[in-house]
């Protein structure tokens, strides 16, 4: 995106830092907080986010793929960088070169990494991924000990931790979280006695709902960006309100005009003016992450008020009704996500309408628009 786009995603560095501090305050002393910055930090800009968090003491970062980790390292991030999805064995040397830490779940990858580490004269720390009920990545619990023993025989790599992931920790009291955690604890107990061994399973939901699962490290994602994994922020006064949404997405009105009663608006004329109405045309559409599902459903903030989307959202354009709001002009700001005056639209509000979750809304806005960090 060029600097001259109408659309801008702005990220509050202070909010990111405050959310990190909040998560840190929720875990026991000595428990590390890994900042999950995959997907370009859920749309918040991976490098700028990692720097902002490094400045408040974060020393561990997590990404999905090797390519993301390399970018982080090359941009000067010093901390430990975890790669959750492992790597193609052909790229093992890149892992070693950049001192990255993989989640390991296959012998093939481990063998390749061992060779590359020996060739470079380095010792690489690896964490074994075990599947305790997510039904996703990882070795099955019954295979864990055998797999770790196999890794122990490989020169150049050392198993320094075991990790797993919860499928339902966003649901307070979910029994699968309890079950998964006891499976994890049992699996880890078979590896007892190893030195400096790091166990980690908790994501944001577990930090907030299941503090006894925090183990030696937690992996926080959505909470760092100011959202609760279970949707709506809890009512006032609860801890949840200490998370501050970091992202704002705004644009500018490019035309204001009056349409007569009965006029069709946008493709397919799925909306017809119910009265003489004034509309504002916005240069934002599904290409910018404003989902087409929000056609005739979405809302934006103009002059501190919520106004409705009328008609279908196009690729780069949509229309909103501003009848009755005086003085709206071309160039005025429209906020799609965030606050304007007293009015607020959160990623949860949008997700509720699109049948999704805040995570996806943040990724779509953040990764499809020009971004700046403020403060
Ligand atoms: C993304 C991710 C997390 C963070 O989850 P949140 O719900 O955003 O806190 C933790 N662990 C793994 C393996 C992940 O992929």
pLDDT of res. 3: 73
Confidence of residue 237 (pLDDT cuts 50, 70, 90): very low
User: Helices 175-189 and 141-152 meet at what angle, rounded to 10?
Assistant: 30
For 289, residues 6+ apart whose C-beta sits below 8 A from its C-beta are: 249, 361, 363, 364, 365, 366, 367, 368, 369
**DSSP alpha helices (H): ranges in the chain?**
13-26, 38-43, 46-54, 66-74, 92-97, 107-120, 141-152, 175-189, 204-209, 347-354, 358-366
How many angstroms separate the alpha carbon of residue 43 from the centre of ligand 1?
A: 14
Query: pLDDT by residue (tens digit) across 61-111?
Result: 999 999 999 999 999 999 999 999 988 999 999 999 999 999 999 999 999
Q: pLDDT averaged over the chain?
A: 95
pLDDT of res. 211: 95
pLDDT of res. 312: 98
Quote the longest CA-to-CA distance of the chain. 78
User: Which of 172-176, 187-191, 354-358 has the largest mean confidence?
Assistant: 354-358
Rounded CA gap, 312 and 286, in Å?
A: 10
Closest ligand 1 atom to 34 CA: 10
Confidence of residue 375 (pLDDT cuts 50, 70, 90): confident
For 321, residues 6+ apart whose C-beta sits below 8 A from its C-beta are: 277, 278, 279, 307, 308, 310
Taking residues 287-296, report their average pLDDT.
98
286 is catalytic: no
Instruction: Please check if 315 is assigned to a binding site.
Output: yes
- Domains of the chain by start residue, with CATH: 13-236 (3.20.20.10), 247-345 (2.40.37.10)
pLDDT of res. 64: 98
Rounded CA gap, 258 and 366, in Å?
A: 32
Closest ligand 1 atom to 204 CA: 9
Taking residues 318-330, report their average pLDDT.
97
Taking residues 261-287, report their average pLDDT.
98
DSSP structure class, residue 105: -
Rounded CA gap, 197 and 370, in Å?
A: 41
Q: Which two tokens stand for residue 106?
A: 């296959």
- Whether pLDDT at 46 is above 60: yes
Buried b (16+ CB within 10 A) or exposed e, 338-373: bebeebebbbbbbbeebeebbbbbbbbbbbbbebeb
14 is catalytic: no
Confidence of residue 192 (pLDDT cuts 50, 70, 90): confident
How many angstroms separate the alpha carbon of residue 203 from the centre of ligand 1?
A: 5
Catalytic residue among 38, 42, 271, 286: 38
pLDDT of res. 238: 56
Scan for tokens 């039904």, then name that residue.
135
Write out residues with Cβ below 6 Å of ligand 1. Answer: 36, 38, 84, 165, 203-205, 219-223, 229
How many angstroms separate the alpha carbon of residue 135 from the centre of ligand 1?
A: 15
Query: pLDDT by residue (tens digit) across 140-150?
Result: 999 999 999 99
pLDDT of res. 241: 61
Closest ligand 1 atom to 84 CA: 13
pLDDT of res. 231: 85
Rounded CA gap, 63 and 39, in Å?
A: 8
Rounded CA gap, 325 and 231, in Å?
A: 31
pLDDT of res. 306: 98
Catalytic residue among 74, 78, 261, 267: 267
SS3 22: helix
Taking residues 198-210, report their average pLDDT.
96
- Whether pLDDT at 235 is above 70: no
Window from 195-199, 285-289, 336-340, 366-370 with minimum mean pLDDT: 195-199
How many angstroms separate the alpha carbon of residue 321 from the centre of ligand 1?
A: 38
Instruction: Please check if 305 is assigned to a binding site.
Output: no
């Amino acid at each position: 995106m060029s600097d001259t786009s109408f659309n801008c995603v702005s990220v509050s560095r202070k909010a990111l830092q405050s959310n990190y501090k909040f998560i840190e305050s929720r875990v026991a002393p000595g428990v590390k907080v890994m900042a999950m910055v995959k997907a370009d930090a859920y749309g918040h800009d991976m490098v700028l986010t990692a720097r902002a968090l490094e400045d408040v003491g974060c020393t561990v970062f997590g990404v999905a793929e090797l390519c993301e980790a390399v970018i982080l390292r090359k941009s000067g991030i010093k901390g430990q960088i975890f790669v959750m999805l492992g790597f193609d064995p052909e790229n093992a040397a890149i892992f070693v070169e950049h001192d990255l830490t993989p989640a390991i779940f296959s012998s093939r990858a481990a063998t390749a990494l061992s060779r590359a580490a020996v060739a470079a004269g380095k010792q690489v720390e690896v964490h074994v991924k075990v599947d305790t009920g997510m039904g996703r990545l990882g070795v099955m619990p019954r295979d864990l000990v055998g797999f770790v023993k196999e890794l122990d025989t490989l020169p150049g790599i050392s198993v320094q931790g075991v990790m797993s992931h919860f499928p339902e920790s966003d649901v307070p009291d979910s029994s699968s979280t309890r079950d998964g955690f006891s499976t994890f604890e049992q699996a880890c107990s078979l590896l007892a006695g190893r030195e400096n061994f790091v166990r980690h399973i908790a994501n944001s939901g577990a930090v907030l709902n299941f503090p006894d699962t925090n183990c030696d490290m937690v992996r926080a994602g959505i909470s760092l960006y100011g959202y609760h994994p279970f949707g709506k922020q809890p009512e006032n006064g609860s801890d949840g309100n200490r998370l501050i949404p970091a992202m704002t997405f705004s644009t500018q009105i490019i035309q204001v005009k009056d349409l007569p009663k009965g006029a069709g608006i946008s493709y397919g004329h799925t909306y017809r003016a119910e009265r003489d109405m004034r509309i504002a045309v916005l240069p934002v559409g599904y290409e910018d992450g404003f989902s087409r599902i929000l056609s005739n459903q979405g809302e934006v903030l103009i002059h501190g008020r919520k106004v409705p989307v009328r008609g279908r959202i196009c690729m780069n354009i949509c229309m909103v009704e501003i009848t009755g709001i005086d003085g709206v002009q071309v160039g005025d700001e429209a906020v799609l996500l965030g606050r304007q005056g007293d009015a607020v639209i959160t990623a949860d509000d949008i997700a509720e309408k699109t049948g999704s979750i805040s995570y996806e809304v943040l990724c779509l806005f953040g990764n499809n628009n020009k971004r700046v960090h403020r403060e």
